Amino acid sequence: MSLNSPEPEEKGFFEKVKETIEHLWDGTKETAEEVKDKAADTIDNLTPKASAGRAKVTRKAVAAKKTVAAKANTASAKARKAVVNVKAKADDQAKKVIEKAKKEAATIKVKAASQAKGISAKVKEEVPAKKTAAAKSSATKKRSVSAK
């Protein structure tokens, strides 16, 4: 048996496993590169579409902001008008109540003055009568005291 045989030398088990792993590894690398290239192409294709969509969304958002701001301004203007109207009505009502109270106060003053005049007249009539009666009674008392 010679060392040089015409048949190809058979590979050992570990060498076969090693070659199989290398073949799978190379296939995986190629597949990964293909997937990477496809993803880059897809991203390149979608980027303009996304930009256009983003622009539409941005325009819609700006329009919505303007609409909301306009509605808010309209609502606040309506609220201000309502407040002004309510305030004007309240002022008118307060003026009416004040005028009515002043009229009633004037009427009460007039009545009070007339009653005071009537009472003072009655008092003046009664006071002189009492003074004369008191003077007569005190003179009578003095006479009776001096007579004793």
Mind listing the pLDDT tens digit of every residue in the chain (148 residues)? 455 656 666 777 888 888 888 888 887 888 888 888 888 888 888 887 777 777 777 888 888 888 888 888 888 888 888 888 888 888 889 899 999 999 998 999 888 888 888 888 877 777 666 666 556 666 566 555 555 5
- Residue 11's identity, in one-letter code, is K
Q: Has residue 24 been placed in a domain?
A: yes
What is the domain extent for residue 21?
A: 13-107
Cα(131)–Cα(126) distance, integer angstroms: 9
Residue 27 lies in a domain: yes
The total number of structural domains that make up the chain: 1
Q: Which two tokens stand for residue 12?
A: 């050992």
Residue 125 within a domain: no
pTM of the model: 0.36
Which distant-in-sequence residues (6+ apart) come within 8 Å of 19 by Cβ? 11
- 4 in any annotated domain: no
Q: Which two tokens stand for residue 23?
A: 């073949």
The predicted pLDDT at position 148 comes to 55
Q: Is residue 144 part of a domain?
A: no
Any domain includes 112: no
Classify residue 7: in a domain, yes or no.
no
- Is residue 132 assigned to a domain? no
Beta strands in the chain (DSSP E): none
Burial pattern 34-65, b for ≥16 Cβ within 10 A else e, equals eeeeeeeeeeeeeeeeeeeeeeeeeeeeeeee
Q: Rounded to whole angstroms, what are the CA distances from 91 to 49, 82, 115?
A: 62, 14, 36
